[in-house]
């Protein structure tokens, strides 16, 4: 019996404190599996997290909630693929 490989991707939108934009953006960029897709001057940031299980995505999202300059973090979508 072979082990099944899982892939998870979740998207998020966050509001960051624009006075701490660099720190907040760096926290996202430094998170394994994270990719920033869009941001604006008002502090909205759209990004995804990829991992091999949903628990890792949850842990990383919880860590990002506490990042400097992070005001809100809202999940938008989660996709699960099994190979």
pLDDT in tens, 15-27: 999 999 999 999 9
Domains identified in the chain and CATH numbers: 8-82 (3.30.70.920)
pLDDT at 3: 73
Nearest residue to 73 via CA among 9, 11, 8, 7:
11
Give pTM, 2 decimals: 0.90
- For the chain, what is the mean pLDDT? 95
Please, what sign has the CA dihedral across residues 70, 75, 77, 82?
positive
Q: What does the DSSP assignment read for 48-82?
A: EEEESSHHHHHHHHHHHHTSTTEEEEEEEEEEEEE
> What residue ranges of the chain have pLDDT lower than 50?
none
Residue 17 contacts residue 24 (beta carbons within 8 Å): yes
Nearest residue to 77 via CA among 39, 44, 36, 47:
47
């Amino acid at each position: 019996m072979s082990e099944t490989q899982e892939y998870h991707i979740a998207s998020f939108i966050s509001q960051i404190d624009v006075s701490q934009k660099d720190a907040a953006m760096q926290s996202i960029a430094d998170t394994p599996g994270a990719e920033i897709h869009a941001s604006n001057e008002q502090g909205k940031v759209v990004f995804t997290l990829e991992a091999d299980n949903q628990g890792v995505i949850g842990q990383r999202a919880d860590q990002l909630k506490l990042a400097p300059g992070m005001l809100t973090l809202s999940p938008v979508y989660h996709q699960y693929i099994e190979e």
